[in-house]
Amino acid sequence: MRLIVLSLLVLLGGRTAFGAATPSVTTNSVLVQNHGTLSWVVLAGWEYTPPRADPSGAMPATFRLRSPAGQPSLIVTVFWDGFGPKKFSPSDKEMADLVKKNAEEKYAPSSVEKEVHLTPLAGARMRGNFISFTDSQFADKEPKDIPAGEARNATIGMFRSGNLWGNFTMLTNAKEGEQFDQALAVVKSFSGIPVEKESGPASPK
């Protein structure tokens, strides 16, 4: 976990190297239906909205993260052993193709950018890819004029960490800079660990 914390600080600009105060970070985690635990590192003060209770144990876990200022924010949905009820476990290329297809169908038509540019994503214990868009209806608006819960830019992506798979939507008011780097650093810190299953009683001989 120390490696992940250090990686987060580097992604936030390496501020400690220049003598500035070290940013305060915290680690949080979510149990995904007793199949795995996804943990992440985030700057202190971010709001965490946990997944809704699911007594059936069959649904993926969706949680939200939001900075104190409201932006950036993240919505993350996590599956175990693959995506969906059929546990589809895509290769890196298949995962990239899925992100690209989703972006072309759902985001490109209403965005400033009409061409899709896929970016690989890799952290200490995760890998995936993402695409960022600028919403055409907010492209020329100042952040104060954008409705709450909306943002000028949306970044969508998919990832895998351990036995956990997921997708995320990242909302920011810029495709680069501090907001974007903070949110992307959280995603890169994802670390999935399988839940160890207790073995049953030994079979009688």
Indicate the residue type of 202: A
Backbone angles phi, psi at 180, to 5 degrees: -60, -45
Instruction: Give all domains of the chain, ordered by start, each with its CATH number.
Output: 2-194 (3.40.1000)
In tens digits, the chain (205 residues) has pLDDT values of 444 444 444 444 444 333 455 568 899 999 999 899 999 999 999 999 999 999 888 999 999 999 998 889 999 999 999 999 899 999 999 999 999 999 999 888 888 988 888 999 999 999 999 999 999 888 888 888 888 888 899 999 999 999 999 999 999 988 888 889 999 999 999 999 998 765 555 544 4
Give residue 122's Cα distance to chain centre: 12
pTM above 0.75, yes or no: yes
pLDDT score, position 21: 55
Structure tokens at 155: 């970044």
pLDDT score, position 198: 55
Indicate the residue type of 1: M
Cα distance between residue 70 and residue 171, in whole Å: 10
Cα distance between residue 11 and residue 19, in whole Å: 16
pLDDT score, position 120: 96
pLDDT score, position 88: 94
